[in-house]
Structure 1
């Protein structure tokens, strides 16, 4: 395979990249989406109420001027966040439009109030409502009308790529492509393709049609990296960003210090309820594997009946486990039992977001059964993570292998944007009880 094609820069998602290429409907273009938000959400409400051409109305420091500049910034920042979140697999932008713009417009209101700046409440409220309307219409229209069209080059291992949803797949039978027929080409870049297909891939790449390795397409559409197809020298490309890892550790500690006084009454009430329901300590302690493969003691609120000197039985919990107390089921469903791990965060052993730490016995079992399992310890374990919001809690080897696919995707795409998405999905998980046992 030609090295120039095999080493194309990886996009955050094939779906997002292909939608922005030439030949797609105008509504998918970034400049159209952003300009529409600014015109409809910022200028239109002001034009309805004021004559924008009147001298001094939009000057800095005036009520309308502050509101116009502020709402424009809220729209731009909100749209940037939305684009970043939508870049990850399985994300529907319509799910995050309201939370994202509620945050940016809410922050704008607090900033103006805190700095005692003159502003128009009408402009802020009207801008917020019209911005929501515009982006809901844009992304609902795109979802209904636009599905990426990806052609598959024959030869090699396609890993069942054409069974993945959300894409119009076409298997090519000859090295020819009509103008504008497809948004992208998928090929097994590790296979020895015939010379005519090599020339075909080079030709379409020169015409501006993206050529993606099958492995990258699968990763982009599923949010998983399949460990069965990895080799030892692959892991240099998925090492997490060191600067972000340091910044995240600091942010974790600051957030824990800020939240601890707020959570203390809740933690105390939970501890009291546990002690009243069944004999035994309120906190459950267990040795687990953390960053770099080093063991540490994790804290959780006890959700099981005390047996002898502690909770005995399997190291994983089944859906109808009779060891779990009535209160424990509620704590597990809404992840309240995990709140005690704020102590682990303060000790630097855990993060708010990361792969879930496993018990030492389970980790040793997985290490024997699953290739490359130990690489999940490249980042600090977390209270919630990419695998948890996509799959839930697991224990069996097959399910743990699938979970590891998600963990590797998280490590490779280790970033603020992915963490923000995980936080948003965690809220949904808590409200629905998804994956709890």
Structure 2
């Protein structure tokens, strides 16, 4: 929904005072309700997570509780709440992250870690205290997130001028457009504008005042990235590629973390793969494993493994590049996919052999999905900056995979590439955890690839 626009042909009139609506900083800021203040939410939640379990335990007259146990339990609960709260704040930086499962996962992990460390150190603690603290903090923060979303109006203002992305496609936000900075008021919402556009001096002066008064002002490019989870290819020619460089410390740690996680999961994967292989042998015959050359880190070719889900075809019959591309792309309801293969693909079970690619160092758990070598070379010729996705190891699952699914058209591949660039730019343990959580959800629900 958009407000009526001022006439862009009307002559501009600048007031002597820059933006009278917010010339007074105190008048420009609308006092937010307490439930929208993150610090208030946190301290109330922390207090409840300590007071409620203490009352519950004290009401149990049959239990003897010494001061050391109380102190230890309170300390462990406080640490767990702080970790869980920080966990949720890290996740909420990413687009379309809501409460519910993410909050449950965050606080479950934080309390689990605290209990694990306490067990290793053989600390005295009350299980009743910690369980009550866990449930109390979880209920509080989920409720506050629900209240905040119910009472908050998601609105932003676009100052026309320069390069403006297609924000109208982001439907969860009310977008209002203005042509002059004098038409803006802070109560309309944060301001979004092209800061690289040569605006007039009056506009720049007013924007500077807005920033000093604490009003949120976003560059169009940054706003687009934060709201969509994509880095627009259109803007890349303006940037140094260093701005898309992944965080180096985590980039160096990630292969070791991937390898350890893969090693721990080998027994679990084996118990699933062996029965699947036997069923495949009976239902659709050999071969069981499908091998293909794909592009990985720095564009190097590697052998990619997965369970075969399609009928065997004579690849030598392909004569033209168009025929090769058509054969490499799997479409929705592709007739080449076997009935059992469709089941494997729906639950992503065909990807299980890629644990071997991770152990070999060819792949990661999370990253851009590797394309067939021929297809990757073709995309590199057609799509600008496509080769940059090879700056990190490809993944079994990825940010683009969970947001755009399987694509076949060139334009859709460009959008998927923008998701890949966002992952590369924002790569972190938090984003990897978010991707893995959503992948598990897809595995459980069995969402069909499109």
TM range (shorter): 0.7 to 0.9
Give 1:310 shift. Answer: 9.5
Structure 2 partner of 1:41:
49
Q: Match for residue 140 of structure 1?
A: 146
* Partner of residue 154, structure 1: 160
> How many angstroms does 1:50 deviate by?
2.9
- Please say which of residues 341-350 and 66-75 is displaced more in the overlay: 66-75
The whole-number CA distance in structure 1 between the counterparts of 2:84 and 2:295 is 38
Q: Does 1:397 align with 2:438?
A: no
| Corresponding residue number in structure 2 for 1:434 | 447
Which residue of structure 2 aligns with residue 292 of structure 1?
298
Residues of 2 paired with 1:358 and 1:178: CA distance? 47
What's the CA shift for 1:436? 1.7
Give the Cα separation in 2 of the matches to 1:148 and 1:362: 41
Task: Confirm whether residue 315 of structure 1 aligns to residue 321 of structure 2.
Answer: no
Q: Which string of whole-angstrom CA distances, capped at 9 and with x for unpartnered residues, describes residues 371-407 of structure 1?
A: 1111111110000000011111112111111100100
Which of 187, 192, 203 is the matching residue for 2:209? 203
Shift of 1:157: 2.4
Give the secondary-structure state (helix, strand or coil) at the position aligned to 1:323: coil
Question: Which stretch has the larger CA shift, 177-186 or 274-283?
Answer: 177-186
Contact between 2:57 and 2:128, CA under 8 Å: does it hold in 1? no
> 188, 194, 201: which one pairs with 2:194?
188
Give me the whole-angstrom Cα distance separating, in 1, the residues matched to 2:284 and 2:183. 69
Q: Deviations over 1:160-208 (max 9, x none)?
A: 3244233343323443377752442111122121222111111111212
Structure 1, residues 271-294: CA drift from partner, whole Å, max 9, x if none? 222112122221100000101011
Deviates more, 1:313-322 or 1:240-249: 313-322
Partner of 2:182: 176
- The equivalences for 1:87-166 within 5 A come to 87-166=93-172
Structure label with greater radius of gyration? 2
Q: What does 1:359-378 align with in structure 2 at a 5 Å threshold?
A: 359-378=372-391
Residues 368-377 or 38-47, more deviating: 38-47
Instruction: Say which is worse superposed, 262-271 or 353-362, in terms of deviation.
Output: 262-271
In 2, the alpha carbon distance for the partners of 1:22 and 1:367 equals: 50
TM score, norm. by length of structure 2: 0.85
CA change 1:305–1:175 in 2 (3 A) is closer
Number of residues of Structure 1 aligned to a counterpart in Structure 2: 411
Tell me how far apart the structure 2 counterparts of residues 180 and 400 of structure 1 sit (CA, whole Å): 38
Q: Give yes or no for contact 2:345–2:448 (8 Å, CA) kept in 1.
A: no
Deviation string, structure 1 residues 116-155 (Cα, Å, up to 9, x no partner): 3322222122112211210111000011111344222221
Q: Is the Cα contact below 8 Å between 1:78 and 1:101 reproduced in 2? A: yes
Counterpart-to-counterpart distance in 1, 2:175 and 2:150: 17
Q: 1:396 to 1:66 in 2, by over 3 A?
A: same
How far apart, in 2, do the equivalents of 1:363 and 1:422 lie? 23
Q: How far, CA to CA, are the matches of 2:346 and 2:445 in structure 1?
A: 8
Structure 1 unmatched ranges of 5 or more:
1-20
Give the CA RMSD over aligned residues.
2.3
Question: 2:436, 2:30 → 1: CA distance?
Answer: 34
Contact 2:99 2:145 in 1 (8 A): yes
Mean CA deviation greater in 375-384 or 220-229: 220-229
Q: 2:248 aligns with which of 242, 245, 254?
A: 242
1:386 corresponds to 2:392: no
Could you tell me which runs of 5 or more consecutive residues in structure 2 were left unpaired when the two chains were aligned. Answer: 1-28, 319-325
Give the counterpart of 2:428 among 406, 415, 421: 415
Check conservation: 1:392, 1:434, Cα contact below 8 A: no
Change (3 A) 1:268 1:183: same
Structure-2 separation of matches of 1:224 and 1:24: 30
Query: Residues 349, 416 of structure 1: CA spacing in aligned structure 2 closer, same or farther, 3 A cutoff?
Result: same
* Per-residue Cα deviation, 1:26-72 (whole angstroms, up to 9, x for no partner): 22222212112111122222034439xxxx9785xx22222111111
Q: Distance in 1 between matches of 2:337 and 2:403?
A: 24
Change (3 A) 1:137 1:120: same
**Structure 1 residues 192-226: Cα deviation after superposition (integer angstroms, max 9, x where no partner):** 21222111111111212122111111111010111
Distance 1:332 1:162, change over 3 A: closer
Displacement after TM superposition at 1:435 (Å): 5.0
**CA distance in 2 between partners of 1:349 and 1:65 (Å):** 48
